[in-house]
A and B are shown apart, each in its own frame.
Chain A
Amino acid sequence: MTINDYNFCVSHHADHLFRFILKHTQHEENARDVVQNAFEILWKKRDEVDAEKAKSFLFSVAYKNMIDQFRKQKKVNLVDEFPAQIKIVNEHKSGLKEILDKALNTLPEVQKLCVLLRDYEGYDYKEIGEILSLNESQVKVYIFRARQTLKNYLVSIETVL
């Protein structure tokens, strides 16, 4: 990729990458470090990375970097787990977006990642699999489970309301 391709990535993907990472880290500085690190790696490997694959490369690098950070902090569990018991406290004051944000945080990390890449970035299952080092079927299953969980969360909210 050329320097212009790289700069295009900065202009068009940095915000997306930052939002994606921030959703997981919940820590702005950590998310910023991960994004910067991803772009540094992209710049170093710009001769090897095709411009069309640059965005996926960024997300993949950022994801791995984030996982490394989480592992160091022992806050991540990549094994798919059933969601923790949903606790609903005064959710009726929140809008749908806020409810979904809270529901999202109840998801296992890998499901959360899949859903975010799917909804935020519009990646297909194959692309998500490439970024997260999963096969397409796994991605499909994780997203299926994530949708069920999120829907059930909303159902629970409606029940409370």
Chain B
Amino acid sequence: MNINRNNYEEYFINYMENELTASERKAVEAFVEANADLKSELELFESTKLEADNRIVFKGKDKLIKKEETKIIAWKWNLNMWSIAAMLILAVGTGWWMFHPSDDTNQLSIKSEMPKSDSLSNSKPEIQNQKEERILIEKKSIAKGVAIKKIESIKINEHHDCIVQEIQPKLDSSYKRIIASVNLQNAKDSAEMIIANQDKIENKDNANLSDNEIVAVANKKSDEHILASLPMKTNSTQRQIIKALAWLGGKISGNNSNDGNFNIDLGFAQINHKEALANN
């Protein structure tokens, strides 16, 4: 079908719609040349082509954009890692807080737990509490693992340091009198016997308690009469030292002959009796 004045609209529309073949387009152009009055109409059809307003934009594309999946996975992984790290920090922090008070607190507590020399003889409950506390801590340490156990070891050593500071002056001046005069195989055991019978001992005049009385009391609880040969009176200071030795788990070992070459093993310190005597 050829273009004519009855069907030109369809051709004009298809022309502006670019739906005609090359030959059809030429036919339309030739028709318009031959029918100049319809040229403006073709131009009007071509004017009906709409143009988008590029000034109108969608604001919010950034909210529609999706992040790379790998980044999302990485973020999730990091989140998990951070969660694990946070839990670990919390666990370690809690453990530290429970079993390792600050140095200042430790110092204060030790000092408060270590009575002055005049009151040491009345310190049985405190000593027992300390021992129980240490045992409890050690049990907890085992349960919590090696790391915390190490921490507790440090703590105990810090206790020792404080105790040394507290009793060292007395120990230096008095222990030789004990060590030199007793046939100790195990100072710890002997001290524990004394502590175990402390109530009875404390009921008497400590200052005037005879050696034999002490030994007698001690022997009531044990055949380990390691204090049996005490040739001298044990005063309150000496007993305090023995208590301290017991608390600290100190052991006296070595030659107990008259040359006085004994070693006092306090765990945290080794004290040689002979050298101590020489120093004195």
Contacts and interface: CB of A to CB of B under 8 A. Distances in A.
A36 B48 contact: no
Interface stretch (B56-64, B85-93, B206-214): B56-64
B180 to A, nearest CB: 87
Interface string B44-88: 110111111110111111011110110000000000000000000
B25 to A, nearest CB: 17
A100 B52 contact: no
A148 B9 contact: yes
A154 B44 CA distance: 7
A83 to B, nearest CB: 13
Interface stretch (A63-71, A85-93, A115-123): A115-123
Contact of B58 (A7, A35, A146): A35
B13 A6 contact: no
Interface string B107-126: 00000000000000000000
Given A14-B58, A18-B57, A96-B47, A39 B13 contact: no
A82 interface: no
Contacts of B16: 147
Given A11-B61, A14-B58, A143-B17, A150 B48 contact: yes
Nearest to B58: A18
Main secondary structure of the interface of B (DSSP, over half): loop
A147 B58 contact: no
Q: Which of A6, A11, A15 has the most CB of B within 10 A?
A: A15
Nearest to B52: A120
Nearest to B70: A3
B41 interface: yes
B69 A3 contact: yes
A100 B29 CA distance: 25
Contact of A10 (B17, B65, B68, B69): B65
Contact of A22 (B45, B49, B51, B56): B56
A17 B45 CA distance: 25
Contact of A100 (B9, B41, B50, B64): B50
B223 interface: no
Contacts of A119: 49-52
Q: Which of B13, B48, B63, B69 has the most CB of A within 10 A?
A: B48
Main secondary structure of the interface of A (DSSP, over half): helix
A160 interface: no
Interface in A11-42: 11, 14-19, 22, 32, 35-36, 39
A133 B44 CA distance: 30
B205 interface: no
A147 B16 CA distance: 10
Contacts of B57: 15, 18
Contact of B13 (A15, A22, A36, A144): A144
Contacts of A14: 58, 61, 64
Given A15-B58, A18-B56, A32-B60, A3 B66 contact: yes
Contact of B52 (A3, A19, A144): A19
Given A36-B64, A43-B66, A147-B16, A120 B50 contact: yes
A53 interface: no
B72 to A, nearest CB: 10
A118 B19 CA distance: 12
A155 interface: yes
Given A10-B61, A10-B65, A18-B56, A100 B48 contact: yes
Contacts of B64: 10, 14, 36, 39
14 contacts: A7-B65, A7-B66, A14-B58, A15-B54, A15-B56, A18-B58, A32-B59, A96-B47, A103-B48, A143-B13, A147-B13, A147-B17, A147-B45, A148-B13
Given A119-B49, A154-B48, 14 more contacts: A10-B65, A11-B65, A14-B58, A19-B56, A35-B58, A96-B47, A103-B48, A119-B50, A120-B52, A147-B13, A150-B48, A151-B45, A151-B47, A154-B44
Can you list the 3 inter-chain pairs with the closest CB atoms, starting with the nearest? A18-B58, A150-B48, A119-B50
